[in-house]
């Protein structure tokens, strides 16, 4: 390389190293005796940098960002020198004002006192308020001048001191006042004069008593209605002596947009017997939610609702946590091991039931000292370390801690259940689906598919499907976390054809996950709903495993599927719906499996076998305003206690509560157990059917002689019977309505077999 090239490279290198620039932004002008504020950015150059103002202020360091405060008014130059002595400059002007630019804004608190509004002034004790909307400049303390009634300092330990100022004015207008800071620098504030707040009502959705020796009482409370101005609502529980028990804040940011933003539901646990009052308080949306539990803004938008927790007398209490024993050491590590929610705890003798809460905890009050046993029932976990049932001692007046170690039976298990509301010609049909992650593992992306009967037409769904292709709907959604639940409600239109009465409408659904599902048998299903005419809108339906709504067949049936349907036939919106179902002693509460519903819900099992289902903030319109959306339903399945004796009548009712109204009590659903025939059941592969699903002709074959065949519809009706006397035969099914059916075969040796098929 020659000398000229070397010199040229050196010049280029020097030019690259000196490529330094600086830019300055004025963020605050000079006000009164306070200087302004600038911030700047350095580009290029080699650190460290020396940043110098023409006033003589200097900063040293390697950061490319810098800030100068208290910069006097006038024209200024800033000079940056890097490690190679390369220079960059920029010029700027600091404006000067005799008062703080404004006006700033004071937040109005909800107004409930009929004429006076309290505004909150957020003073951050500084002249550079970069805290966002609502913070004002000025050094504390502040003094105020203007059309207001009183001023008081609030929360002097929070951010240097805020102020509450009371205004009067016309609702919907603005009011302005002046202020001066500690050094006499003036400024102005404005605030909105809000319209009067309509406070929500409160109702107690559920209440249980407490043992006298320890707090086992609970209350489930909810707010409803109201329209607080630019505010959100929280519910606060106090003892009747004024002692704070617990405060609940909604997870909401920004002004409330609709009525549902003011509806809040919460269950308070651990209450001792005695008097309490529930306080409903409206507070401004701009207060940081993270700090709500630390301080509360004074507000006259308060309503109190007293209640009493009954005294149950002394109890022996067992309490603990159900958890996944990740490290297999049979000891609960509170901070690191996963809790198991929605498991049913059964304690015997009794029996006494409880449901584990969202954090895996449970509490069971027992009437006397003694030796008890405990079992945990959950579809995808089982007890670990101690063989079930788990023995323990309980002593009257004391609490026994019994944690329950579990392990998942499969790594991942996602299930699908389906159910529908009533299907009537010319009316909408609501089809519900419930997808549950029964394990603590994440599912990966989920894909839910629904194929609805082609006789129906699609209206909408919540949530909206990813794709709609004819009568096929698909939802592709993100991963489900452990124990999570997703509710789906699909609105379908039934044609106005009375010829559909008695027809079965068929729904087929399935869910898949990107992570391997350890039990795919519960990932798909078929549901058939029969088109009916008039019906009781508040009822409880029962259907056995063999599709019978009137008879329990001994030796054949395993489950009873219940559907509780309800409709708001009142004159206003129902904000909350609660269903209370005291299960008969014929049924085994430990086997309960909650299913699909029309709306999202919470549930729990307690006492001797009382199922409670909560639809908080359901906002169910009355039938006069919106008949199609005035309906709802929830479903569950349960097994009877075995053995079921011939002639046993399994009867059950439900109580449906709409807000403050007395319960609507359903007519009993009745199943009668058939007398035992002593017939031996053959294996499921004893008969074969082709094709399935079928349109016209069903071909049936067996390795043994078939004596007779019966076809039973999903509602339990026998729709066809035939004598066969052969191992192979065929049956014309073209006249059958579309839907699900059960084929019942009796063989020449007296044994029986059953298989299901679908008729298109």
Architecture of domain 201-309: Sandwich (2.60)
Residue 579 has pLDDT above 80, yes or no: yes
What six digits make up the tokens of 34? 């306070």
What six digits make up the tokens of 389? 């049932």
Rg of the Cα trace of the chain?
35
As a whole number of angstroms, the distance between CA 297 and CA 700 comes to 76
pLDDT score for 300: 61
pLDDT in tens, 122-175: 665 578 865 444 568 888 888 888 777 677 665 544 444 577 787 777 777 888
As a whole number of angstroms, the distance between CA 256 and CA 118 comes to 19
Mean pLDDT for all residues in the chain: 85
Same topology between domain 17-97 and domain 536-678: yes
Question: Taking phi first (over 0 means left), then psi (-120 to 50 degrees means alpha), and beta for anything else, what does residue 85 get?
Answer: left
**Using alpha carbons only, what angle is made at residue 703 by residues 702 and 706, rounded to the nearest 5 degrees?**
55
Residue 678 has pLDDT above 50, yes or no: no
Phi, psi of 4 (to 5 degrees): -65, -45
pLDDT score for 287: 45
Q: What is the mean pLDDT of residues 311-337?
A: 93
Residue 20 has pLDDT above 70, yes or no: yes
Global pTM reads 0.72
Domain 684-759 of CATH type 3.30.160.340: no
pLDDT score for 4: 41
Domain 316-408 of CATH type 2.60.40.10: yes
What six digits make up the tokens of 757? 């098929």
**% of the chain beyond a pLDDT of 70:** 85
As a whole number of angstroms, the distance between CA 180 and CA 190 comes to 14
Query: Cβ of 604: how many Cβ atoms within 10 Å?
Result: 21
DSSP string, 503-518: PEEEEEEEEEESSPPS
As a whole number of angstroms, the distance between CA 689 and CA 743 comes to 9
pLDDT in tens, 617-669: 899 999 999 999 999 999 999 999 998 888 888 999 999 999 888 899 999 99
For residue 202, list its beta bridge partners: 223
Q: What is the mean pLDDT of residues 245-263?
A: 47
CB 173 within 8 A of CB 193: yes
Q: Characterize 609-638 residue by residue with b for buried, 16 or more Cβ atoms within 10 angstroms of its Cβ, and e for exposed.
A: bebbbbbbbbbbbbbeeeeebbbbbbbbbb
* CATH value of 17-97 in 2.60.120.1060, 2.60.40.10, 2.30.40.10, 2.160.20.80: 2.60.40.10
Query: Cβ of 647: how many Cβ atoms within 10 Å?
Result: 9
pLDDT score for 283: 62
CB 575 within 8 A of CB 225: yes
pLDDT in tens, 112-121: 766 566 776 7
As a whole number of angstroms, the distance between CA 408 and CA 340 comes to 10
Residue 680: which residues within 8 A CB-CB, separation 6 or more? 750, 751, 752
pLDDT in tens, 425-470: 999 999 999 999 999 999 999 999 999 999 999 999 999 999 999 9
For residue 248, which of 233, 269, 260, 270 has the smallest C-alpha distance? 233
In order of 446, 449, 451, 461, 473, the CA distances from 468 in angstroms are 17, 10, 10, 11, 5
As a whole number of angstroms, the distance between CA 305 and CA 202 comes to 7
- 257-261, 475-479, 577-581, 607-611: which range is least confident on average? 257-261
CATH of domain 412-533: 2.60.40.1510
**Using alpha carbons only, what angle is made at residue 121 by residues 117 and 123, rounded to the nearest 5 degrees?**
170
For residue 187, list its beta bridge partners: 179
Residue 582 has pLDDT above 80, yes or no: yes
For residue 376, list its beta bridge partners: 345
What six digits make up the tokens of 589? 């509460």
As a whole number of angstroms, the distance between CA 580 and CA 610 comes to 7
Query: Cβ of 586: how many Cβ atoms within 10 Å?
Result: 19
DSSP string, 420-476: E--B-TTSEEEEEEEEEE-SSS---SEEEEEE--TTSEEEEEESPPSEEETTEEEEE
CB 587 within 8 A of CB 640: yes
Q: How confident is the model at residue 254 (pLDDT cuts 50, 70, 90)?
A: very low
The three-state secondary structure class of 667 is coil
Judged on CB neighbours under 10 Å (0-12, 13-18, 19+), 226 is buried
The three-state secondary structure class of 15 is helix
Q: Are strands 143-145 and 148-154 parallel, antiparallel or unpaired?
A: unpaired
Q: How confident is the model at residue 94 (pLDDT cuts 50, 70, 90)?
A: very high
As a whole number of angstroms, the distance between CA 598 and CA 685 comes to 37
As a whole number of angstroms, the distance between CA 245 and CA 576 comes to 24
Peptide bond into 389 cis (omega under 30): yes
CATH of domain 536-678: 2.60.40.740
pLDDT score for 8: 36
pLDDT score for 714: 63
Q: Characterize 488-498 residue by residue with b for buried, 16 or more Cβ atoms within 10 angstroms of its Cβ, and e for exposed.
A: bbbbbebeeee
pLDDT score for 294: 35
For the chain, give the number of residues: 760
Q: What is the mean pLDDT of residues 475-481?
A: 97
pLDDT score for 194: 75
CATH of domain 104-192: 2.60.40
Judged on CB neighbours under 10 Å (0-12, 13-18, 19+), 115 is exposed
Q: How confident is the model at residue 104 (pLDDT cuts 50, 70, 90)?
A: confident
Task: Parse the chain into domains and list their residue ranges.
Answer: 17-97, 104-192, 201-309, 316-408, 412-533, 536-678, 684-759
pLDDT score for 123: 66
Dihedral angle, C-alpha 209, 211, 214, 215, nearest 10 °:
-10
Between residues 675 and 219, which one has the greater pLDDT?
219
């Amino acid at each position: 390389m020659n000398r000229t090239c070397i010199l040229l490279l050196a010049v280029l290198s020097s030019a690259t190293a000196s490529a330094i620039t600086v830019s300055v932004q004025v963020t605050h002008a000079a006000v009164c005796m306070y200087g302004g504020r600038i911030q700047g950015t350095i580009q290029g150059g080699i650190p460290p940098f020396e940043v110098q103002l023409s006033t003589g202020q200097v900063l040293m360091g390697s950061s490319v960002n810098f800030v100068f405060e208290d910069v006097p008014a006038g024209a200024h130059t800033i000079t940056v020198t890097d490690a190679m002595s390369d220079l960059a400059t920029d010029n700027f002007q600091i404006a000067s004002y005799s008062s703080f630019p404004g006006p700033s804004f004071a937040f109005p608190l909800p107004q409930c006192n009929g004429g006076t509004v309290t505004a909150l002034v957020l003073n951050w004790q500084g002249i550079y308020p970069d805290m966002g909307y609502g913070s004002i400049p000025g050094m504390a303390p502040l003094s105020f001048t203007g059309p207001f009634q009183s001023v008081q300092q609030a929360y002097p330990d929070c951010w240097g001191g805020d102020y509450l100022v009371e205004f009067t004015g016309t609702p919907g207008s603005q009011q302005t006042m002046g202020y001066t800071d500690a050094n006499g620098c003036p400024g102005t504030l404005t605030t909105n004069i809000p319209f009067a707040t309509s406070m929500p009502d409160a109702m107690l959705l559920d209440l249980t008593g407490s043992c006298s020796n320890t707090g086992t009482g609970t209350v489930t409370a909810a707010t409803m209605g109201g329209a607080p101005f630019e505010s959100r609502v929280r519910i606060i529980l106090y003892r009747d002596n004024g002692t704070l028990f617990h405060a609940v804040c909604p997870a909401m940011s920004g002004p409330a947009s609709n009525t549902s933003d003011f509806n809040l539901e919460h269950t308070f646990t651990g209450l001792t017997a005695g008097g309490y009052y529930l306080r409903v308080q409206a507070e401004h949306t701009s207060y940081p939610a993270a700090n709500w539990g630390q301080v509360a803004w004074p507000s006259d938008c308060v309503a109190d609702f007293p209640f009493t927790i009954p005294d149950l007398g002394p109890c022996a209490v067992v309490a603990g946590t159900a958890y996944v024993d990740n490290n297999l050491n049979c000891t609960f590590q509170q901070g690191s091991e996963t809790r198991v929610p929605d498991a049913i705890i059964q304690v015997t003798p009794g029996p006494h039931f409880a449901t584990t809460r969202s954090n895996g905890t449970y509490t069971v009050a027992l009437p006397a000292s003694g030796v008890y046993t405990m079992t945990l029932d959950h579809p995808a976990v089982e007890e670990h370390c101690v063989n079930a049932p788990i023995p323990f001692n309980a002593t009257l007046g004391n609490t026994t801690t019994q944690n329950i170690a579990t392990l998942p039976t499969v790594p991942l298990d996602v299930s699908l259940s389906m159910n529908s509301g009533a299907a009537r010609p010319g009316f909408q049909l609501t089809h519900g689906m419930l997808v549950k992650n029964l394990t603590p593992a994440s599912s990966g992306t989920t894909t839910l598919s629904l194929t609805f009967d082609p006789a129906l037409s699609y209206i909408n769904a919540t949530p909206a499907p990813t794709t709609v292709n004819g009568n096929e709907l698909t939802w592709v959604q993100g991963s489900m976390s452990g124990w999570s639940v997703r509710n789906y409600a699909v609105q379908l239109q039934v044609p106005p054809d009375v010829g559909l009465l008695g027809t079965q409408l068929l729904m087929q659904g399935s869910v898949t996950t990107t992570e391997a599902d350890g039990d795919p048998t519960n990932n798909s299903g078929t549901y058939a709903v029969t088109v009916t005419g008039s019906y009781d809108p508040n009822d409880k339906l029962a259907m056995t495993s063999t599709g019978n709504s009137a008879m329990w067949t001994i030796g054949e049936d395993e489950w009873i599927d219940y559907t509780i349907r309800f409709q708001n036939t009142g004159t206003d919106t129902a904000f909350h719906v609660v269903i209370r179902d005291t299960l008969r002693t014929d049924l085994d509460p430990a086997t309960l499996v909650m299913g699909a519903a029309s709306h999202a819900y919470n549930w729990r099992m307690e006492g001797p076998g009382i199922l409670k289902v909560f639809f908080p903030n359901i906002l169910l319109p009355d039938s006069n305003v919106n008949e199609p959306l005035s309906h709802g339903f929830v479903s569950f399945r349960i097994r009877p206690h075995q053995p079921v004796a011939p002639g046993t009548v399994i009867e059950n009712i439900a109580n449906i509560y709409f807000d403050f109204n007395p319960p609507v009590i359903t007519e009993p659903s009745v199943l009668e157990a058939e007398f035992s025939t002593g017939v031996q059941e053959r294996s499921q592969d004893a008969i074969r059917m082709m094709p399935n699903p079928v349109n016209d002709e069903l071909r049936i074959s067996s390795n043994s002689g078939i004596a007779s065949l019966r076809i039973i519809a999903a509602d339990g009706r026998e729709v066809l019977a035939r004598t066969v006397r052969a191992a192979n035969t065929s049956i014309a099914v073209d006249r059958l309505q579309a839907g699900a059916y059960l084929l019942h075969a009796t063989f020449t040796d007296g044994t029986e077999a059953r298989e299901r098929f679908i008729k298109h």
